[in-house]
Structure 1
Amino acid sequence: MILLTSFSPNLSPYSSPVTLPQDLCTCCCFSWRSFPFPLEWPASALHPSLYSHIPQSPRHCLFSHPLSCRTTPLLLIPGPGGARTSVYPSKAIIPRGGSQRVNCSISCDQKATFGLETELTKKEVDRGNNWKVFELSDVQEDISLLCYSNSCPVHTTPLSPAGFPEHVELAPLPLWQPVGEDLNLSCQVSGGAPRDHLSVVLLRGEEELGRQPLGKGEPAEVRFTVQPRREDHGTSFSCRWELDLRSQGLELFQNTSAPRKLQTYVLPSTDPHLEAPTVVEVGSRWPVKCMLDGLFPASDAEVYLVLGDQRLETSITYHDYSVLAEAWIEGHEEEEGTKSLKCSVSLGNEIRKTRGSVIICGFPALSGTLSPPEVSGWTTVTVECEAHAATVVTLNGAPAGPLGPRAQLQLNASAQDNGRGFSCSAELEVAELVVQKHQTLELRVLCRQLDQRVCLGKWTWQEGSEQTLKCEALGNPIPKLNCSRKGDGASLPIRDLRPVKREVAGTYLCRATSARGEVTREVVVNMLCECWSLGPGRDSELPLQVQGVQSLVGVLRSRMLYGQA
């Protein structure tokens, strides 16, 4: 029979023993890994007076692998007094697979039998009267060490191998992340011990954004939440585990995951601005533009212009925070009708669209004629504009009349009408819209002209004054003008601003020549000047004279000076 007692907070260690059958001993083995009472309470130890009476098998059961019993845990009666066992270090963390020396000592009878119970390979390396040192090797997992004695309570201590995590990884990031919206980042760590010394750090580049202890699970997952900024576009994020064993006399170990690059973006809620013609005439070509401001990064935006079901060839220009797409719409006869026009701008995971429509229509040519297109002066000219029957044609200068597809004007052309323009306009209503077409005609009047309006017949100037000689010939085609002085053929300086001299005076013949013939005009240049005679009495014999006109001022002034007025 074996004497046991059940544990109770109110039960004295020396309470009356309970007698149980010997074959139940195997069911009374308790797990020394997890005591049902505080370790500092000196209970659970086998009473010395009873230890020798326990058969070998159950005695071994006490210090061997624990069995699982479904009965209420029963505790061995402790020994008397304050005798106890102890283990140093009380808690140890060592590198996985390494070795550790453990001191097991007792404070009771020095002749007591004591030792260290463990599943690990152990070797006694030193001893004393009441202590022993064991070297434990190849520590691969967490384990509890039991220091036992036949006269003192047992004592346990945990031994944990420190292992680096096998893998650390930042979970994949979204392809694009909107600026300012919460982004959940997940760091996953496989392996590593002890977990209560492991932590995970989230890094943005080299900047630490957050730190959390590594929990349980395999792999263990730690989550962080950040709000990305514009400047985070293209920035790398990573996870780093830290195994801090400095409190155990070891080091701080750490390792960082492969970085992942984040792409942030801003896409405004407004739709793109679309500029396009409402109507495109068959055979014509019109530009179309699509713009959007306030997006980031603008260079990563994609812009599409689609007419009907055909994507237009687009030229895209990027600015700091805007994008501009330009294309051309060509009107083809086989495409007549209303076509949808769509502009879409996509960035990140979002898209903005603007829709419009374009009417492609056939507009028959506007025909404008001058009959004849070139005329001589005082010839009747007919101006006519005509278009499709459904159009309304107008001609500037034409008399008022009923509106229709034809307008006409007649005039007697003169030299003043040379170069005159006539504007024809045609209007066509398409889908409640008015489409216009314009044409300009120019009349050419063939003539030659060299008259008083463009070339004066007489100039009288003060000598030395700055003057511009003006003489032009009008006509179509433009005549060639030449002015030469009678007698010596000297040329008249035309269109030059200069001080005039008396040598310019004279009579000139100006001739305008073109394919239409020749026109001449006589031009006289007079010069006013103050002249002095060479000596007394000579002025009456030789009055001063300028080419082309006698200077009375010079004669009178000369006579007054010499008393011959």
Structure 2
Amino acid sequence: MLNATVMNHRDMLTATATATARADQEGFLGPILNLSEPSAPEGSTVTVSCMAGARVQVTLDGVPAAAPGQPAQLQLNATESDDGRNFFCSATLEVDGEFLYRNSSVQLRVLYGPKIDRATCPQHLKWKDKTRHVLQCQARGNPYPQLRCLKEGSNREVPVGIPFFVNVTHNGTYQCQASSSRGKYTLAVVMDIEAPNSHLVPGILAVFGTLAVVTVVVALMRVFREHKRSGRYHVRQESTSVPLTSMQPTEAMGEEPSRAE
């Protein structure tokens, strides 16, 4: 129903009415945003499309359609980084010099296998015995994977992400495995538990080694000294006798030899 204003001009009547169009009357309920695959496997091609009414200008992720009434589209190769990505489409309609706006959004889910972030899961842990620690390992994937860390040889499980009491029996290598319907991912983690005063053992061994060497040296010196005191020494004495030489009788008597007369 319209409220008209009637004006009489000679033999002519003029009726004037003003109406304001509503969005729903113009078929402008907002843009329709679709994904070819709402949950797409990693590596697959996904098409995103946005459309609206005949005279509506749509813009998808900042890129406008070619003309009013035309849909906007984009394609992408789905990767892990696209998981949870939101796409936005805006629609604009001009009615009697005024602009009407509608927006719509949709989220893409990408299915990918489990992974363990090495930056948040150290491969070598050095902790002290009888202390409390947290194994800070995190897994990701879609669907979300289950993460377990089991010790090699015994399959002993340690908790992940919550505090637990550490002792020397935790020494060893653990296989941390993230698993889901998309596969498995394994990362080795080594736990090195330091026993009380274990850092003093090398020093103590060095001291004992030094003492042993000193003891041996002192013992050898003592044996050498005792041997030196109890040893026999042979001194060669010079002879005190005078060697004998033959003498003539006259020389023996001290007389001069007789001369012939």
TM-score by length of 2: 0.62
| 8 Å contact from structure 1 (residues 482, 510) kept in 2 | yes
Offset from partner CA, 1:242-280 (integer Å, 9 cap, x none): xxxxxxxxxxxxxxxxxxxxxxxxxxxxxxxxxxxxxxx
What letter matches 1:427 in structure 2? Answer: T
Cross-structure match for 1:249:
none
SS at match of 1:449: strand
1:454–1:434 Cα change, 3 Å: farther
| 8 Å contact from structure 1 (residues 462, 529) kept in 2 | no
Residues of 2 paired with 1:390 and 1:359: CA distance? 12
1:391–1:359 Cα change, 3 Å: closer
2:117 is the alignment partner of 1:435 = no
Cross-structure match for 2:34:
369
1:360–1:369 Cα change, 3 Å: closer
What letter matches 1:449 in structure 2? Answer: P
1 or 2, which has the higher helix percentage?
A: 2
The counterpart of 1:406, out of the listed 57, 71, 80, is 71
Offset from partner CA, 1:41-66 (integer Å, 9 cap, x none): xxxxxxxxxxxxxxxxxxxxxxxxxx
Cross-structure match for 1:388:
53
The counterpart of 1:378, out of the listed 40, 43, 46, is 43
Cross-structure match for 2:181:
515
What is the deviation of 1:518?
2.4
What is the deviation of 1:433?
2.7
Higher relative contact order (CA 8 A, sep 6+): 2
SS at match of 1:519: strand
What is the deviation of 1:397?
5.6
| 8 Å contact from structure 2 (residues 134, 162) kept in 1 | yes
**Max radius of gyration: which structure?**
1
What letter matches 2:35 in structure 1? Answer: L
The counterpart of 2:203, out of the listed 527, 536, 557, is 557
What is the deviation of 1:447?
0.9
SS at match of 1:470: coil
Residues of 1 paired with 2:147 and 2:62: CA distance? 35
What is the deviation of 1:473?
1.9
1:397–1:510 Cα change, 3 Å: farther
What is the deviation of 1:427?
1.4
1:424–1:556 Cα change, 3 Å: same
SS at match of 2:202: helix
Aligned-residue sequence identity (percent) comes to 33
2:62 is the alignment partner of 1:416 = no
Residues of 1 paired with 2:200 and 2:86: CA distance? 55
2:168 is the alignment partner of 1:502 = yes
1 or 2, which has the higher strand percentage?
A: 1
Offset from partner CA, 1:363-383 (integer Å, 9 cap, x none): 145221112222222222221
Residues of 1 paired with 2:48 and 2:23: CA distance? 32
Residues of 2 paired with 1:564 and 1:466: CA distance? 38
1:381–1:520 Cα change, 3 Å: same
1:439–1:406 Cα change, 3 Å: same
2:114 is the alignment partner of 1:468 = no
Residues of 1 paired with 2:119 and 2:62: CA distance? 28
Residues of 1 paired with 2:180 and 2:109: CA distance? 15
Paired residue total: 192
2:191 is the alignment partner of 1:525 = yes
The counterpart of 1:493, out of the listed 159, 163, 175, is 159
Residues of 2 paired with 1:521 and 1:467: CA distance? 19
Residues of 1 paired with 2:42 and 2:23: CA distance? 47
Matches within 5 A, 1:120-519: 338=20, 361-362=25-26, 363-396=28-61, 398=63, 402-404=66-68, 405-453=70-118, 456=121, 458-463=123-128, 467-497=133-163, 500-519=166-185
Residues of 2 paired with 1:502 and 1:425: CA distance? 62
| 8 Å contact from structure 1 (residues 460, 528) kept in 2 | no
What letter matches 2:77 in structure 1? Answer: N
Residues of 1 paired with 2:207 and 2:155: CA distance? 37
| 8 Å contact from structure 1 (residues 413, 445) kept in 2 | yes
SS at match of 1:494: coil
SS at match of 2:116: coil
Residues of 2 paired with 1:397 and 1:524: CA distance? 49
Q: CA RMSD of the aligned region, Å?
A: 3.1
What is the deviation of 1:421?
0.8
Residues of 2 paired with 1:454 and 1:380: CA distance? 30
SS at match of 1:361: helix
Cross-structure match for 2:238:
none
TM-score by length of 1: 0.31
1:365–1:359 Cα change, 3 Å: closer
Cross-structure match for 2:8:
none
Residues of 2 paired with 1:454 and 1:403: CA distance? 48
What is the deviation of 1:481?
1.6
What is the deviation of 1:391?
0.9
- Where structure 2 has 5 or more consecutive residues not aligned to the other structure, the ranges are 4-18, 212-261
